[in-house]
Amino acid sequence: MADAPVVDANGDPVTGGTATVVRTNGQHRETVQIDANGSYAAEVPAGTHQTIVDAPGSPTRVREDITAEPGTPASSDITLEDSGTLTGVFDNPSGTAAAKIPVQISGGDETYYTRTNSTGGYSVSVSPGSYVVAPLGTSAGNSSQNVRVAPGETVATSATLQPRSVDPTASLGIVDLLAILPFYLSGVLVVDTRFLRAMRLFRVVRLLKIARYSETMRSFSTVLRSQKEKLVVAAAMSLILLVLSSSVMYQLEHEAQPELFSSIPATLWWGAMTLTTVGYGDIYPVTRLGQVAGALIAVFGIGLFALPASILAAGFIEDSQSDTQASCPHCGESLRDH
């Protein structure tokens, strides 16, 4: 059995919250409630465990190692540190308030997210320690600050956002150049410049600039960047399955339908239509083995080609959860609007 009193920095029992006892090898985990006396009790096997306490008013989880012996209750006092408060104000370069911008506060293993209010201010309850306060977003340059918060201390900071430098060689900058280049070249070149009109199609790509003004589009680009490694792996696996399935089907159907399954590259069309479940019906197996293999390949394709969608969905959930904030310790409102 593992039990311990949980007290705050003043030595008073902490009421409410939970205590989770996790064995170091991860084979046992139990979560119990902390009672009105600040105590908890959990039945655990003998060995070394870690107790994780989530208590009201504590901005982070408190972890404490504890060793349980057979037949002997293990007890270890857990003291919660007083939290600190980090407040600040961000202004735009023009002197106006930087309202509703996301702010990241990171230090050690702790990361907090919040947003400035209509006056550019923010307030976050944090654990004591050193942090880097950085505004996020396309309009904020390198305006980060290093701060240290002591228990029970309120640290106030202020900063003016530094605009990002414009890189004319950036991807959208090159698109802008290609879009306007035909206009200027037509007045200089004496040859037929009608072929340059095709370059005007790049103006459509300029619509991607709308993403910087849309919170949803920014979230989408953030998810793509965070999940790009997984998406690349999923795409590689899909390509491998496409080549393998097309090769197998070519071997099974070439003799029966040499005009349709003439080569492995030609069979890739069937593989792509089958794995993506489009199935135009212009090419399909007629042999018994080919039909069995086609059914199995289609089943694998449903799962594998749906993998990118599940990766993106998990990324959106993670991004949404990281943007969900706790309530302000002073007014009880959401930190998003504080």
**What tens digit of pLDDT does each residue of 26-58 get?**
566 777 777 777 777 777 777 777 777 777 666
Provide the pLDDT for residue 335.
Answer: 44
CB atoms within 10 A of CB 244: 13
Of 303, 304, 317, residue with least CA distance to 227 = 317
Token pair of 22 as six digits? 């996790």
Provide the pLDDT for residue 199.
Answer: 65
Provide the pLDDT for residue 332.
Answer: 45
Query: What is the 3-class SS of the chain, one letter each residue?
Result: CEEEEEECCCCCECCCCEEEEEECCCCCEEEEECCCCCEEEECCCCEEEEEEEECCCCCCCEEEEEEEECCECEECCEECCCCEEEEEEEECCCCCECCCCEEEEEECCEEEEEECCCCCEEEEEECCEEEEEEECCCCCCCCCEEEEECCCCEEEEEEECCCCCCCCCCHHHHHHHHHHHHHHHHCCCCCCCHHHHHHHHHHHHHHHHHHHHCHHHHHHHHHHHHCHHHHHHHHHHHHHHHHHHHHHHHHHHCCCCCCCCCCHHHHHHHHHHHHCCCCCCCCCCCCHHHHHHHHHHHHHHHHHHCHHHHHHHHHHHHHHHHCCCCECCCCCCECCCC
Provide the pLDDT for residue 328.
Answer: 46
In this predicted model, what pLDDT tens digit does every residue of 67-79 receive, in sequence order?
Answer: 777 767 666 667 6
Provide the pLDDT for residue 334.
Answer: 44
Q: What is the pLDDT along the chain (338 residues), one digit of tens a residue?
A: 545 667 666 667 777 777 777 776 656 677 777 777 777 777 777 777 777 777 766 655 555 676 777 767 666 667 666 778 889 998 888 888 888 888 889 887 778 888 899 898 999 888 888 999 988 864 555 678 899 988 878 999 888 887 665 555 555 667 667 667 766 776 676 666 566 666 666 666 666 666 555 667 777 878 888 888 899 999 999 999 999 999 999 999 999 999 999 999 999 999 999 888 888 888 999 999 999 999 999 988 888 878 888 898 888 887 776 554 444 444 444 444 44
Residue carrying the six token digits 């003998």: 46
pTM over 0.85: no
Query: C-alpha dihedral over 169, 171, 174, 175, to 10 degrees?
Result: -160
Provide the pLDDT for residue 232.
Answer: 92
Provide the pLDDT for residue 243.
Answer: 94
